[in-house]
Amino acid sequence: MYFHSTKGKSPAISVSDAMLMGAAPDGGLYVPQYFPAFTPDEFGDAKDLPNIARTLLRPFFEGDKLASELPEICETVFNFPAPLKPLATGAFSLELFHGPTAAFKDFGARFLATAMDRLASPDKPLTVLVATSGDTGGAVGCAFAGAKTANVIILYPKGRVSSFQELQLTCWPGVTALRVDGDFDTCQALVKAAFADPALKSRYGLSSANSINIGRLLPQMVYYTASALQIFRRTGQNVNFIIPTGNLGNGMACLWARACGLPIGKVILAQNANHALTDFFTTGEFMPAASIATIANAMDVGNPSNFERFMTNRAMLDHDVRAISIHDETIKAQIANDARAHGQIWCPHSAIAAHVYDRLKAIDKKQIWANVATAHPYKFRESIEPLTGSKVQPSPALAAIRDMPSSFTDINANLDALGAVLAG
């Protein structure tokens, strides 16, 4: 299979080359040439993520230099669960925070790092640039820590991440963390500007580990496939998903899985006060704006990059999908109410999905819904504990990070400052 640019002005390339490139030379994002068609029967009785991943991802790697290594990559990467747990409200929760940095980004980041380490040449190391609004950088830093052939530089917005998120962004050996004077969109614009500079891209072998990289989205399809198969085998019904989303990577992975024929029904994209997607699905117009700082900071994205991918395949993807925007006071009320009524502690992003489910009409709730829980609440304990009146305990993986040393560099939001860091 080949992958082509959303802008249509760059040659189609293999999935390995697309992962190494990050973004296409014409500034577009890579998308599959086509979506392979699956039926549930093709997965047999596979329940574990590595086996499901091998079947799902095989067509995307057909003819690729990593095709023979895909089974081993899947076995290495998908070594933690993505459980689907019933909630007191009648919905399910798809828990994606059981990886090493307790966020859904662990799935894609670990896959990409494992693949890139096998692809890159020791004679020509990669420089991986990552813009993050909170959780991406931590997952990528952890995944690439100790990588043999890739240098990682993380750009994150000053004053826009939680204290634990900042620790996760700045604690990984061999990873450079840059605290940028601006918001996430500023960080993302810097990364895009670096990619658009042919001299920088060539000199430093630039690639990306944001969700603009195809190597992040393809593995994220796996947990949607696994949970959809679980529900379908049990009930014969499609599962509907409510997905907290900022840059639209997690939502896009679900829509791509559905486009492959997996038993997925409706998709609701749950946003915070950054409502560009909500406006689009309401009015038909896409109007990116400056990002707004919210309690659900990992979704503080005013101009979602993956919208390009949606529009490229809109005819196939744009059915039974909508977006809903929730503001901070409602998020806080959801966290407090669910803790009191059900003993359920949400991170702010997952609370948005829970609130959207609560708002559904009774007739819609007769269908099967899964709220996507994107991060462990401990990462946002400063916001959550005053609302719940109790301490949030870390997962073992997060507890192990608490005492790690932290290091970062402040930079101005311009390409000259980033170029100076790249030059060393």
- Dihedral sign computed on CA atoms, order 112, 139, 329, 371: positive
- Dihedral sign computed on CA atoms, order 202, 178, 384, 302: negative
Q: Closest by alpha carbon to 275, among 297, 254, 299? A: 299
- Dihedral sign computed on CA atoms, order 250, 253, 258, 264: negative
What local confidence, expressed as pLDDT, does residue 275 receive? 96
* 104 close to 97: Cβ distance less than 8 angstroms: yes
Q: How is the chain split into domains, by residue range? A: 75-104+215-399
Mean pLDDT over all residues of the chain?
94
Rounded CA Rg of the chain: 20
Please state which architecture CATH assigns to domain 75-104+215-399. 3-Layer(aba) Sandwich (3.40)
Q: Closest by alpha carbon to 136, among 254, 245, 293? A: 245
SS3 266: strand
Structure tokens at 40: 């549930």
Q: Which residues of the chain have pLDDT under 70?
A: none
Identity of residue 27:
G
- Measured between its terminal Cα atoms, the distance across the chain in Å is 38
pTM for the model:
0.92
- Give residue-wise pLDDT tens across range 227-241: 999 999 999 999 999
CA dihedral 145, 146, 147, 152 (to 10 degrees): 40
Q: Which residues pair with 320 in a beta bridge?
A: none
Q: Closest by alpha carbon to 40, among 227, 240, 216? A: 227
